[in-house]
Copies of this chain bind each other. A is one copy, B any other.
Amino acid sequence: MVSKLQTPLTVSAYKSEVHNDWCPGCGDFGILQAVQQSCAELALPPGETMVFAGIGCSGKVFNYMATHGVHTLHGRVLPFAVGAKLANPDLEVVAVGGDGDGYGIGAGHFVHAGRRNVDMAYIVMTNEVYGLTKGQASPTLGRGQQTKSLPLPNTNDAIQPLALALSSGYTWIGRSYAFDGKHLKEMIKKAIEHKGMALLDVLQPCPTFNDLHTAEWFNKKVKGEGTTMLPRIFNANEAGHDGAVKDPTNHDEVADKQKKAFELAHYHGDRIPVGVFYEIKLPTYVERMQAQAPMLIKYSPARVPYEDASHLPTTDLSKSYEEFMF
């Protein structure tokens, strides 16, 4: 069990001293801040919190947190984070990374993480570009679109990350926007608190390379139903979408909620829904592990004792030796 601080810390207690080198106006600032606020409000002990990050501009989050910060490999943030969480479920593990990292090179891990339902939050910074390598198309950029650095318009179709998460088995799926600090923070907290694998996709302006979908673009009012102009980004939950499955054993309810989440993930038109798309409570991977290896209920793998005070190994293999003894 992840423990909580008795006395919560301030937000600044989660800020490291490292100089931040994101570009001015980068949406990552908003996300970092919301993560730090969430940590403070959830009273997470910095020494028992591990923030795993991918490689990219987004990946630098690891260095700006005053928790354990692990900068993994490009596309591999999930395996690293899952490894840590399963080895020691008492740690709060949060994974963050870019859209190229998570949905591009990391797509295989992304899919399989859904199958495990490890209890952790995964926050993806979706800016439609590979920021740190200077603006190539990431898998969320639409076909035919041409951001600043592309010599030619994008030849690939965009991925639908939320639909993909749904088909992969994520048990909490949401979207937010980097510059809506309040909504974002609440969503991050929900993703962390959710018992299971949570994907939070965050729309993140990259003022340097993404000249199509800038903060201004996100803030623009667009045609809603009829002719009224409405904010481009709207809170689907406020608009009535309830993605939470009440009874996970009720197949009809599950199917219905999945279908609605799928439709929302494929939402068509100028407006962009944010909020909780889908949520269900299923056994976590640790619970499944514990069911098979009861010793892991008492000890996390990282804490199973195997030496005594004088460093003699204490694992008794005699039962196993019997199998082979003649």
Chain A interface residues toward B at CB < 8 A: 104-109, 111-112, 114-117, 139, 143, 152-153, 155-160, 163-164, 166-169, 251, 255, 258-259, 262-263, 265-266, 268, 285, 288-289, 292
Whether B251 lies near A268 (C-beta < 8 A) is: yes
Report chain B residues within 8 Å CB of A116: 155-157
Residues of B within 8 A of A156 (CB): 112, 115-116
Question: Are B115 and A157 within 8 A (Cβ)?
Answer: yes
Name the one of B160, B168, B255, B262 contacting A268, with C-beta atoms under 8 angstroms.
B255
Closest chain B CB from A302 CB (angstroms): 19
- Chain B residues lying within 8 Å of A108, measured Cβ to Cβ, are 105-109, 111
Q: What is the interface of chain A mostly: helix, strand, loop, or mixed?
A: helix
A107-B107, A266-B258, A268-B255 as given contacts; A288 in contact with B115, CB under 8 Å: no
A163-B258 Cα distance, complex, nearest whole Å? 11
Report A248 CB to chain B, min CB distance, Å.
12
Cβ of A158 to closest chain B Cβ, rounded Å: 7
A157 / chain B contacts, CB cutoff of 8 Å: 114-117, 169
Complex CA–CA separation, A274 to B108 (angstroms): 26
Whether the Cβ atoms of A167 and B163 lie closer than 8 Å is yes
CA distance in complex: A285, B111 (Å): 24
Alpha-carbon gap, A163 to B166, bound state (A): 9
User: Which one, B107, B139, B168, contacts A159 given CB within 8 A?
Assistant: B168
CA distance A254 to B109 in the complex (A): 29
Q: Is A263's CB under 8 angstroms from B255's CB? A: yes
A297 to chain B, nearest CB (A): 15
A284 to chain B, nearest CB (A): 11
Residues of B near A159 (CB, < 8 A) are 111, 115, 167-169
Docked-complex contact A111 and B262, CB < 8 angstroms: no
Which chain B residues lie closer than 8 Å to A112 at the CB level? Answer: 104, 107, 139, 156
Complex A-B: 11 CB contacts under 8 Å: A107-B112, A112-B139, A112-B156, A114-B157, A115-B139, A115-B158, A116-B155, A155-B292, A167-B167, A255-B263, A259-B259
How far is B265's CA from A262's CA once the two chains are assembled, in angstroms? Answer: 12
